[in-house]
Amino acid sequence: MENTSQISFDGASCPIPLPHNKTIVMGHGSGGKMTEDLIKQVFQKHFSNPFLNAGNDFALLPMQGNDLQLSVSTDAHIIFPLTFPGGDIGRLAICGTVNDMSMSGATPLYITASFILEEGLEINLLEKIVISMKEAALEAGVTIVAGDTKVVEKGKGDGIFISTTGIARLTRQVQINGSNAHPGDVVIISGTIGDHGIAVLDARGDLGIKTNIESDVAPLNHLISEILEVAPETHVLRDPTRGGLATTLNEIAKQSKVGIIIHEEKIPVLQAVKSACELLGFDPLYIANEGKLIVIAPENKRNAIISKMQNSKYGKNAIVIGEIIEKNPGRVILKTEIGTSRIVDVMAGEMLPRIC
Amino acid sequence: MNKNFNFSTSFRNSQLVKGVVEEIKRITTKPWTIMEICGGQTHAIMQYGIDQILPKELELVHGPGCPVCVTPLDQIDRAHAIAAQTNVIFCTFGDMLRVPGSSTDLFSLKAHGAQIKVVYSPIDAVKIAQENPDKQIVFFAIGFETTIPANASSIIQAKAFGLRNFSILVSQVCVPPAMEAILSSPSNRVQAFLAAGHVCAVMGYWQYHPISQKYQVPIVVTGFEPLDLLQGILKAIRQLESGTHIVENAYQRAVSEKGNQAAQEIINRVFEPCDRNWRGIGTIPFSGMGLRSEFDEFNAEHRFNVEHIKTQESEICIAGQILQGLKKPYQCPAFGNVCVPTNPLGAPMVSSEGACSAYYRFSLNREEI
């Protein structure tokens, strides 16, 4: 190593950026920044209307001559593998839509389901998934009222894609949406984060580790109606799915034009999820959940909400993880375990495992 | 060791952290510049806000220890040329998907039908080769001494299985020659190093004694938890303040002087030192690890005849100076506005271990907090 004198420093060097605005890449489906950009640049550009532009997981539709409002939500479900510890694509399809429409505080009533089936799919497996949908619908108290089936050639689908749409009724005089967080409110999470994402990753079998983590996929409508019994003045309800807790809180901070502080030591994460994330270079804050609820409500309701949630099987580990502030509108700030602060941003594109 | 001992909480204990920070403050009398070599350390520093609690006199600069950032553009272009071929399944660590070459990236190639698989280990690529005898499987073997042993194992396995459809595109680099390159540069500002804990877990730290002596710099082997990092910084400052320059180990639970000898043996069986171009730094003699001639059949550059691909980088961002510790990400005019993780101008913004991405994710507009 005596040749160091020959070293030449090239100095600045950089390739031309790739904006990915010509072709769809996997990152567009991550639920992070790329998804947000795609929605703005393609969908909202042409579909723009007040219901859509509200930016919620549901649309609130007024019924003429009636206090009643309808909450409508739609969702497409793709997942590999089709079954995983704690659930399958069928349970996911029902719970995903039940949860989206429930986030307005509405009572879910009816669901429709379309199936895109790939040639070669075993009918036994399809039936298993359909039974799982029936059970999830029963658990949530919704009825599957219409459906459609299409078949694509082998290689043109991933076994089965399910698209569901739901209708819910909103009778309560509640004003719950992502732009309603107020300074002074508390931020509550219903339980451990990251379980679903890591369970699915593990079920793919390519992590090289074996965990006992189960997906948390569950309908949240019963938990929500119990919360609203004791705290009808709740400001925001949101389920942190794709993009995880970090991305969802960022959306709320932007919609409500407030700052959100969360405390690292309060955020519940299963040890197994934590370890898997550290091994793979993931951050649990960005891992998907399918049965967790964020509640943002006035501070004076915290105890009533927490005790209601902890008594429900869907919210046993509910805990206050942070608060809403006036400063830093649009930003989420994490107080670390060692007493420092940092910004928590939205996820950029797809989460990628690191090298070493 | 106590089996209830929990690494992830014990090394993040805020009381213990405070104690070490107090000690660092007590002994620091002058400004010092310390380089953390590894991108993982940079991320931990930003993630836990360790730079916020250190005395103002201390400056931490990040080293060239991000494998994605230092992989040269022409090697990335070669990877893209191979991955685009119809008969190829191109296997890579996830980080490399987003790194732009001169005209495309692996994400875009995948969108246009290239078969690109994210693997967690090169051994997975060997398995894919066994399962797909009619395809050519190529693994993008980038990385430091931490990943080289697994790459070597994949070659030994492929040879034992007699696989004719497996090869690797090599862009492996070693830390000590890069440290020498930094220290011998006329613009060097680094006064002490936090050596990369995981690299040392494989290689030991016997290689660092001559560097420490020749350039009179303290080198402290350092881990990745907040307390590990602070211990490393404390030891480095003690040396700087007292004018000593030796190699110390602040990561004893993972690192020994000699390192993992089985891993070193397998590296040396398959690879040999070679000159290697580092993106943003230039060619550093004997800083790479290339395939030995007896394993040439597994060299993807030869199998796919891509050696002729040579690319000139255009000068837009300051990735080069950042990788050498000369500049901080926020000193780049592009940082945070035109250059963001979704639209990276330079490799340090791309990788999860890259310095710019760490700064962007964890500290953009930190003064607002």
B190-214 residues labelled b (16+ CB within 10 A) or e (exposed)? bbbbbbbbbbbbbbbbebbeebbee
Q: Which residue has the higher pLDDT, B69 or A300?
A: A300
Q: Report pLDDT digits (tens) over B148-196.
A: 999 999 999 999 999 999 999 999 999 999 999 889 888 788 999 999 9
B295 and B270 Cβ atoms separated by less than 8 Å: yes
3 state DSSP class of B279 = coil
Considering chain B, what percentage of its residues have pLDDT values greater than 70? 88
- Residue ranges covered by each domain of chain A: 57-170, 186-344
Does residue B215 belong to the interface with chain A, where contact is any CB pair within 8 Å?
no
Chain A residues lying within 8 Å of B146, measured CB to CB: 356
B99 and B347 Cβ atoms separated by less than 8 Å: yes
Does residue A326 belong to the interface with chain B, where contact is any CB pair within 8 Å?
no
Q: Report pLDDT digits (tens) over B285-318.
A: 999 999 999 999 999 999 999 988 887 665 555 6
Does residue A3 belong to the interface with chain B, where contact is any CB pair within 8 Å?
yes
Which of A77-81, A178-182, B297-301 shows the lowest mean pLDDT across its residues?
Answer: A77-81
Asked if the Cβ–Cβ distance from B111 to A328 is below 8 Å, we say: no
pLDDT at A1: 36
Among the four given CATH numbers 1.10.3720.10, 2.30.30.90, 3.30.505.10, 3.90.650.10, the one describing domain A186-344: 3.90.650.10
Length of chain B: 369
pLDDT at A322: 98
Chain B residues lying within 8 Å of A278, measured CB to CB: 8
Chain B residues lying within 8 Å of A27, measured CB to CB: 98, 107, 342
pLDDT at B222 over 70: yes
pLDDT at A3: 38
Chain A residues lying within 8 Å of B339, measured CB to CB: 17
* Cis bond before residue A81 (omega within 30° of 0): yes
pLDDT at B14: 87
Mean pLDDT calculated for residue range B26-44 = 93
pLDDT at A354: 57
Chain B residues lying within 8 Å of A338, measured CB to CB: 12, 14, 17, 48-50, 53, 226
Does residue B19 belong to the interface with chain A, where contact is any CB pair within 8 Å?
no
Residue among A14, A208, A337 whose CB faces B314 most closely:
A14
Asked if the Cβ–Cβ distance from A16 to B100 is below 8 Å, we say: yes
Give the torsion through C-alpha atoms of A32, B350, B12, B224, to 10 deg.
150
pLDDT at B347 over 80: no
pLDDT at B250 over 70: yes
pLDDT at B276: 92
Which of A32-41, A119-128, B187-196 shows the lowest mean pLDDT across its residues?
Answer: A32-41
Asked if the Cβ–Cβ distance from B360 to A345 is below 8 Å, we say: yes
pLDDT at A13: 34
pLDDT at A15: 38
Chain B residues lying within 8 Å of A250, measured CB to CB: none
Asked if the Cβ–Cβ distance from B93 to A338 is below 8 Å, we say: no
CA A90, A93, A94, A96 torsion-angle sign: positive
For tokens 């993880």, the residue is A321
User: Phi first, then psi: what are they for A334, rounded to 5°?
Assistant: -105, 125
Asked if the Cβ–Cβ distance from B142 to A34 is below 8 Å, we say: no
3 state DSSP class of A30 = coil
pLDDT at A120: 96
Longest CA span, chain A: 87
Q: How far apart are CA B319 and CA B279, in angstroms?
A: 8
Band of the pLDDT at B342, cuts 50, 70, 90? low
Q: Report pLDDT digits (tens) over A161-176.
A: 999 999 999 986 778 9
pLDDT at A247 over 80: yes
Does residue A6 belong to the interface with chain B, where contact is any CB pair within 8 Å?
yes
pLDDT at B364 over 60: no
Which of A9-13, A87-91, A135-139, B142-146 shows the lowest mean pLDDT across its residues?
Answer: A9-13
Mean pLDDT calculated for residue range B276-287 = 86
Residue among B17, B67, B210 whose CB faces A356 most closely:
B67
Which of A53-57, A182-186, B2-6, B177-181 shows the lowest mean pLDDT across its residues?
Answer: B2-6
Q: Which residue of B has its CA nearest to A281?
A: B352
Type of residue numbered A268: P
Instruction: Work out how many CB contacts closer than 8 A connect A with B.
Output: 218
Q: How many helices (H) and strands (E) does chain B have?
A: 18, 11
Q: Which CATH architecture has domain A57-170?
A: 2-Layer Sandwich (3.30)
Q: Which residue has the higher pLDDT, A150 or B311?
A: A150
pLDDT at A353: 58
pTM for this structure?
0.81
Mean pLDDT calculated for residue range A90-100 = 97
Does residue A46 belong to the interface with chain B, where contact is any CB pair within 8 Å?
no
Which of A33-37, A261-265, B83-87 shows the lowest mean pLDDT across its residues?
Answer: A33-37
Mean pLDDT calculated for residue range B254-274 = 97
Which of A115-129, A275-289, B228-242 shows the lowest mean pLDDT across its residues?
Answer: A275-289
Mean pLDDT calculated for residue range A301-330 = 97
Q: Which residue of B has its CA nearest to A272?
A: B8
Asked if the Cβ–Cβ distance from B282 to A7 is below 8 Å, we say: yes
Q: How many CB atoms lie within 10 A of CB B12?
A: 19
Domains of chain B plus CATH, in order, are: 13-334 (3.40.50.11740)
Q: How far apart are CA A258 and CA A162, in angstroms?
A: 36
State how beta strands A259-263 and A319-325 pair.
Answer: antiparallel
Q: How far apart are CA A261 and CA B254, in angstroms?
A: 35
Does residue A155 belong to the interface with chain B, where contact is any CB pair within 8 Å?
no
Does residue A165 belong to the interface with chain B, where contact is any CB pair within 8 Å?
no
Asked if the Cβ–Cβ distance from B102 to A15 is below 8 Å, we say: yes
Residue among B93, B286, B338 whose CB faces A353 most closely:
B93
Helix (H) or strand (E) holding A234: none
Q: Report pLDDT digits (tens) over A250-277.
A: 999 999 999 999 999 999 999 999 988 8
Q: How far is B32 from chain A (nearest CA, A)?
A: 22
Q: Report pLDDT digits (tens) over A190-199.
A: 999 999 999 9
Q: Report pLDDT digits (tens) over A274-287.
A: 988 888 878 999 99
Q: How far is B240 from chain A (nearest CA, A)?
A: 24
Q: Which residues 17-36 on chain A approach chain B with CB closer than 8 angstroms?
A: 17-20, 23-27, 33-34
Q: Which residue of A has its CA nearest to B149?
A: A356
pLDDT at B353: 66
Does residue A49 belong to the interface with chain B, where contact is any CB pair within 8 Å?
no
Asked if the Cβ–Cβ distance from B320 to A275 is below 8 Å, we say: no
Q: How many CB atoms lie within 10 A of CB A97?
A: 31
Residues facing residue B195 across a β-bridge: B221
Residue among B12, B47, B316 whose CB faces A342 most closely:
B47
Q: Which residues 48-77 on chain B approach chain A with CB closer than 8 angstroms?
A: 48-50, 52-53, 67-68, 73
pLDDT at A10: 34
